[in-house]
Structure 1
Amino acid sequence: MTRARPPLPADTVREVGEFGVIARVVARAGAARLAEVGPGDDAAVVTTPDGRVVATTDVLVEGRHFRRDWSSAEDIGHKAAAANLADVAAMGARATALLVGLACPSDTPIGWLEGVATGLAEECAPLGAAVVGGDTVASAPGSDAVVLSVTALGDLGGRPPVLRSGARAGDVVALAGRLGWSACGLAVLRRGFSSPLAAVAAHRRPSPPYAAGPAAAAAGATAMCDVSDGLLADTGHVAEASGVVLDLDRAALGDACLVPEGPLQQVGAALGVDPLVWVLTGGEDHALVATFPAGTPLPAGWRVIGVVRSADPAAGVLVDGEPAETVARALGAEGTGHAHFG
C-alpha cells in the first residue's frame, strides 16, 4: 500500500501554481520607465529611444553564486539584479528593464520568491528600470537548487558603446566603486562568522556605481568593463581586447579600496591574509574600471589606479611593473580571479 504524501504547506510553489507564483512576483515588480507593455502578456514591449538595445545575461546558481543560509531572499534579488545592471553601466548605458527566468523546487516557499522579487525591484527602482517579464519552471527532479537567469536591457542615450577594445597607450586606468569587500565578506561567511557586518553585507548586496558608467562614456572613456571576476582578470580582458599593457598602481589601489583600519584589514589580520589579494583578485563587487585619455578630467567617483603602458602583442596586466600572475602568487592567490570552470 502506497503511503500518502503529507500535504505541503499552502504557501509553496506547488500549491500556489505557476500563475499564482507569477501573480505574486508581478505584484512586486515595480514599473519600468520605458516599458509600454509589462508583465502579463506573451512578451513585454520596451521603448528604445536610442534605436539600439544593450542586452546582457547572467545566471546565478544556488550553491555557487549564493546560499540561502547566508543571504536573505531580498539579498539574492538585489545581487542578481546588480550583476546584470553593472554590465549595462559598463557599456556606458542606462538600464531600462529586466527579464527573469527562475527554476526552483516545487516545495520552495512562495514567501521566499516574493522576497527575491522585492530585492530585484528595489535594485532596479532608482534606475527607472523594473522586471518586465520572464519565466518560471520546476527544477529538475532530484535537484534542490534554485537557478536565476536575469537579462538586463539598456539604452545608450545616443552615445557609442564603450567597449573593452578601445584602450590606447598613454591612457590612464581609473576605478569607480570599491574592490575586495565582497571577497572579504565571503571569506568571513566561509568560516562561519557574520561580522564585520560591512564586509558580509557587501557580499550579500553589491553596490555597483551605476551612474559612473554613463558619466565615463560622456567624459570620453576609451574602454570599460565591470569587475565581476577580479580586477586582474577583468583588466586582462581589456588588455587583450585592446592589444595593450595595463600597469596598475598598488598604492593607488590601496588608497581607493582600503579604508584605514577598516574591515578588510581587520579580517586580513585575523585570517593571516594580505587584504590586497581581495582587492586584486576578488570578484562580485561590480566596480567599474575604465581607461581615459591622459589629461581628461575624470567624472565624480573615478580615481586613477594605473596607466596603459604600450601597444604590445603580449598584452597583459602588470602591478607596479610586475606580471599580474607573479603578484597574485606572491600574495597567496590561486589565480588572478574567478575561473568559471576552474
Structure 2
Amino acid sequence: MSLPSASPHVPLKSTRELVQAYAAQLLEHGEEVRQAAIREAILVEHGISASPNLVNDEVKKFWAKAGPALSARLRRPGIPDAVCQQFDAIWDVALNAAAAGHELERQQLQAHTEAALATAEQAGAQARASAAQLEAQTEELLSLRADKSRMSEQMVASEAERQGLVRERQEVADKVEAQRLQAAHEHQRLQALVDQLQQQLSALRDSAQRDLLALGESHQAELVKTQDFLMLETARVRDEHKARTERLSKELEQQQARNDQLRLLRANASDEAAELRGRLQATDRALAQLEQHNAQLTAQQQALQAALLDSVKAASVGQAKKTAEPGAGDTPDEEG
C-alpha cells in the first residue's frame, strides 16, 4: 500500500516529525497506522532508516493526541456506522500497538534490570575479592611487622656480635703483630743459617767437581780400553759368524741337493705305484674273469656228474634186469 507524499510546503525538521506527519496522513486516508508502513515511507521518500523504537514511541504519542479528537467526532450524531467500525478497528490496532510497545518497554526494562543485577553481582564479587585482598594485605602487613621485629632483634644481636668480632679482630691483630716480630727474628736466624749452608755447599761443590774430573779421566781411560776390546771382539765374532754362515750355506746346498734327489725318487715311486695300481687292476679283472670261468666249469662239472650218475644208475638198472632174466628161464626146467 502506497502512502501519500508529505506536503512540500510543510518543513520537516526531524524523524519524529516525519513519523507524526505520516501517521496523520494514514489516519486521514482511513488506513491503518502501522509501524512498518511509516518506516517504509520515510525510507522511500527521505532515505532515512527510522528506528523501530522511535517509530513506536511516536505512534503512541500520536494516538495520545488523536484519541480525544476521534472520540469527540464519534460522539457527534450523524456519523455513519462504517466510519465507526473503521474507527473501532483502528482503535484496536492502536491498543495492540500500545500493548506491544509496553511489552517491548517491559522487556527492555527487564534486560536493564538483569544487566543491573549482573553488574551488582560483579560489584559484589569485586567487593568480596577486594575484602579478601585487603585481608591478605592485612595478614601480609602483620607478617611484615613480625619480620621487622625479628629483624630488629637480629640487628641487635648482629651489633653485639659485630662488637665481639671487633674485639676478636683486635686480639688477632695483636697476635699477628707478635707473630710477625717473632717471624722476623726467625727469618734473621734462618738467613744466617742459609748463608752458612751456602758456604758449605760451595765447598762441597768444589770438592765434587774435583772428584768428578778425576773420575771422568779414569772413566775415559776405561772407555778407551773397552772400545779396543769391543773392536777386537767384534772382529772375532764377525769372522766366526762369516765361517758359520759359509758352513750353513754349504749344508743348505747339500740339503737342497738331497731334497732334489728325494723329489726325484718320490716322482719315480709315484710312477711305479701308478704302474703297480694298473697291474693290480688288470690282475683283478683277470681274476674276476677266471672266477667267472671257474664258476662255469663248476656248473659244467656238476652237470657232467649228474649225467654220469644218471648213466651209472641206468647201467645198474640194465645190469640188474639182465641178471634177473636168466633166473626166470631156469625155473620151468627145474619144475620139469
TM-score (norm 2): 0.18
Select the structure that is richer in strand: 1
Higher relative contact order (CA 8 A, sep 6+): 1
Select the structure that is richer in helix: 2
TM-score (norm 1): 0.18
